[in-house]
Structure 1
Amino acid sequence: METRPRGRDGTGVTNTDAGPGLVEPVPGYRTRVVDEGARDGPAVVLLHGTPLDLRAWDPLVPALRATRRVVRFDARGHGVAEDVPVPDVGRLAADVVAVLDHLGVADAHVVGHSWGGEIAQRVAVEHPGRVARLSLVCTRASPFPPFGELAASLRGGTVDLEALLGRWFTPAERAEPAGAAATVRAWLRDADRERWAEALDMIATFDGLADLAAVAAPADVVVAELDAVATPAHMAEIARTLPDAACHVLPGARHLAPLQHADAIARVLLA
């Protein structure tokens, strides 16, 4: 994957079934939307983590689009929308609804990874009628203060990107010239540091665990066994709080599971 992908028309925009995907679902927020797959199938909306963008779901989409309408987009501060400041999580949840409205989708299976999982939680809590099913992948529902320190290091120019990669990939994976680690390294290097820091500040203070008790939609909680942030213990607590949740553990997986364990996650989402 290139760090700034080109669409088939050479414009830098990812093309979709419906043509070039730049839209403005909310005034002042112009983003890239990919809408593909089975148009008569259930809709699935995929919400990426930080500082990634919609391409983080590339390994997963092929398994879904034969039977699902698959929607993904760049959140504020990320991808083609990196010049848009990251607001509060309620505004980010409203953006998801605005994209669904733009596409004429009444409700969807909402899937969120990491930071995107926190946005997905707010969609389920604040816009329950739009969520047919909720899937949370390697995310948190309680504050994670160390990310406030990481945000400060980004703003101060002292962040160690290789140390971050060491949380997600083995030394052998980081040494490969191509593959997931190389792709993520390029994402980290090219990310807007302030936008990334804004998203990390949100994760550092996000506190929505108690609210999950009111979520009526059936839910999946997908756990990476070796995740040091969205730990198995914390995600088990999320699963216990949700009224109708099934917990799935991915053995040997780390935080960026959608990039490396897409087939296993797809099996959960299609079940």
Structure 2
Amino acid sequence: MTGDVRTEDGCRLWADQAGVGAPLVLCHGGPGMWDYLGPVARLLDRHARVIRWDQRGCGRSERRGPYSIGRFVADLDAVRERLAGPRTAVLGHSWGAHLALRYAIDHPERVSHLIYVSGTGIDPDRGWHPHYERNLRRRLGPHLDRWEALGARDRTPAEDRERAVLQWSADFADPDDAVRHAEEMATPWLGVNSDCNRAINAEVKQELRIRDLVARCRTLDLPVLIIDGPEDIRPRWGVDSLEKALPNCQRVSLPGSGHLPWVENPHGFRRAVTTFLDARREPASGT
């Protein structure tokens, strides 16, 4: 069931929900992308009422700012209030994992479970991005020259999509299927909001330097599941400090998978998420 959510400042957010059970809100990555988590919803919709949404300025949502972490946290709260109810599980992927974490830190009473998928951690001193850049170029292999050539000039929308597909192909462990998986991510192509991407990425970097997220995570007394793909080109040690800071955390590494573990290890992903939700759900009233 597809419908819109209106934020308190009047921004229209595209949203969709499917399935039955307790609510689970998904937060896509980017920043600046649209929701590509339909396959996650299909894996889990017999176990939860899965709610997806396009973040402000992205995909099918209204293309307007402001683009800030605080604004996106407020938008997520609007989605939660309108579609999920007073308390929900939240699953975030990549940048969306950071958004979900920030939401849980700011509103722990509104989050029942937090699932942190392929995030990049909260350690400001041990930067992951140089390692990502090296790994990206290595994994692009025969596509590297074309990817660099497209990046060095102004591009048509079709070339934007082509470059994104090449870059996203490096997020998958199996080179034989990587471009096909990336093509599926880019279909339909809704365009990346570069202004949103730049603004949010810059704020995340600043936030990690000036805010003590480690201390705030130590006070986060709710169940957290971290899911990693060991073949992710973003180094997984970047998440170690987050894992250590969380008082109620478990971590699962899904063999044979990269940055989108539900694509390359769907059975392991579904088992990890559903086992976590089942084990950590509060008993129904009167039982």
The TM tier, using the shorter chain, reads 0.7 to 0.9
Structure 2 runs not aligned, ≥5 long: 134-149, 276-287
CA distance in 2, matches of 1:63, 1:171: 24
- Matched residue, 1:212: 217
Aligned to 2:245: 241
Structure-2 change in CA distance of 1:200 and 1:84 (3 Å): same
Q: How many angstroms apart in 1 are the aligned matches of 2:19 and 2:266? A: 17
- Pairing 1:98–2:98 present: no
1:154–1:88 CA distance, 2 compared to 1 (3 A): farther
* C-alpha spacing 1:42/1:162, structure 2 compared with 1 (3 Å): closer
Cα–Cα, structure 1 residues 48 and 104, in superposed 2: closer, same or farther, change >3 Å? closer
- Give the Cα separation in 2 of the matches to 1:121 and 1:67: 22
1:168-215 Cα shifts (integer Å, max 9, x gaps): 13543345xxx4211234577822322233333344444234421111
2:145 is aligned to: none
**1:127 alignment partner in structure 2:** 107
**Which structure 2 residues correspond to residues 57-96 of structure 1 after superposition, within 5 A?**
57-81=37-61, 83-85=63-65, 87-96=67-76
Partners of 2:74 and 2:182 in 1: CA distance: 32
- Given the alignment of the two structures, is residue 24 of structure 1 paired with residue 6 of structure 2, yes or no? yes
| Structure 1: distance between partners of 2:238 and 2:215 | 13
Conserved in 1, the CA contact under 8 Å of 2:26 and 2:51?
Answer: yes
- Of Structure 1 and Structure 2, the greater helix share is in 2
User: Which residue is equivalent to 1:190?
Assistant: 191
- Confirm or deny: 8 A CA contact 1:154 1:194 kept in the other structure: no
AA aligned to 1:235 is V
Q: Residue in 1 aligned with 2:136?
A: none
Percent identity between the aligned chains? 24
Show the counterpart of 2:264: 260
CA contact (8 A) 2:72 2:99 kept: yes
Cα shift at 1:115: 0.7
| Deviation (angstroms), 1:109 | 0.8
Counterparts of 2:69 and 2:116 in 1: how far apart (Å)? Answer: 16
Q: RMSD of the alignment, in Å? A: 2.9
- Which protein has the larger Cα radius of gyration, Structure 1 or Structure 2? 2
Question: TM-score, normalized by length of structure 1?
Answer: 0.77
Gap runs ≥5 in structure 1: 1-15
1:241 and 1:32 map into 2 onto residues whose CA distance is 34
